[in-house]
Amino acid sequence: MDLSIGEVAQRSGLSVHALRFYEREGLFANPVRRLSNGRRIYHEEDLEWLAICTRLRSSGMSLADIRQYIQLARQGPGNEHERLDLLRRHQDHVEAQVRELQDTLDVMRAKVRIYEAHLARGEADSLWNPSHRAQSDPQPCTPSPPTPTPTPTSTLAPDAEEAS
């Protein structure tokens, strides 16, 4: 079934402008076909590729690497190891991003526990406020080292709570 650029934009969640950009940059798995009047024609496989391509892009794969992957795939059989190497490198990159996000989430969870505990005790006024300098400099906000099993209570020292 032939699809117009507007239909592809609606179904893919990409703007018409973004679709034209992807075409200009050579990011479609197959060249975009055109009618005799110049209108772009897309097919279901274009939507399937766009779903993959946008995931690669949103996870940080460079346009150059996406382009390289597409070029390798277009060449057909014989370069599967090169494609696999490219995908593995990106997988490693995404896994590093996930670890960093997990570290950030650990910090946020610790901060939430501190605030919940202070509010539950009615001691919110003792939370660190940068506009009211404390007697000693506040400690930087860093998460506790990862623990093998989560504990229901905060593992931060009492003075770390006040510096939060």
Residue 19, domain member (yes or no)? yes
pLDDT in tens, 113-156: 999 999 999 988 878 777 765 544 455 555 555 545 444 443 44
Placement of tokens 């093998």 in the chain: 148
**Domain that includes residue 150, residue range:** 97-162
Q: Considering just the CA atoms, what is the radius of gyration of the chain in Å?
A: 25
Amino acid, single-letter form, for residue 16: V
Quick one: 71 and 9 in the same domain?
yes
This prediction has a pTM of: 0.67
Last residue of a domain, one of 76, 108, 136: 76
Find the largest Cα–Cα distance for the chain. 77
Walk along the chain (164 residues) and give the pLDDT tens digit of each residue: 899 999 999 999 999 999 999 999 999 988 899 999 999 999 999 999 999 999 999 999 999 999 999 999 999 999 999 999 999 999 999 999 999 999 999 999 999 999 999 999 998 887 877 776 554 445 555 555 554 544 444 344 444 444 44
Residue 92, domain member (yes or no)? no
Quick one: 157 and 115 in the same domain?
yes
Residue 155, domain member (yes or no)? yes
Task: Supply the DSSP symbol for 79.
Answer: -
Nearest C-alpha neighbor of 53 from the set 83, 27, 17, 19: 27
Do 69 and 87 meet the contact criterion of CB atoms below 8 Å apart? yes
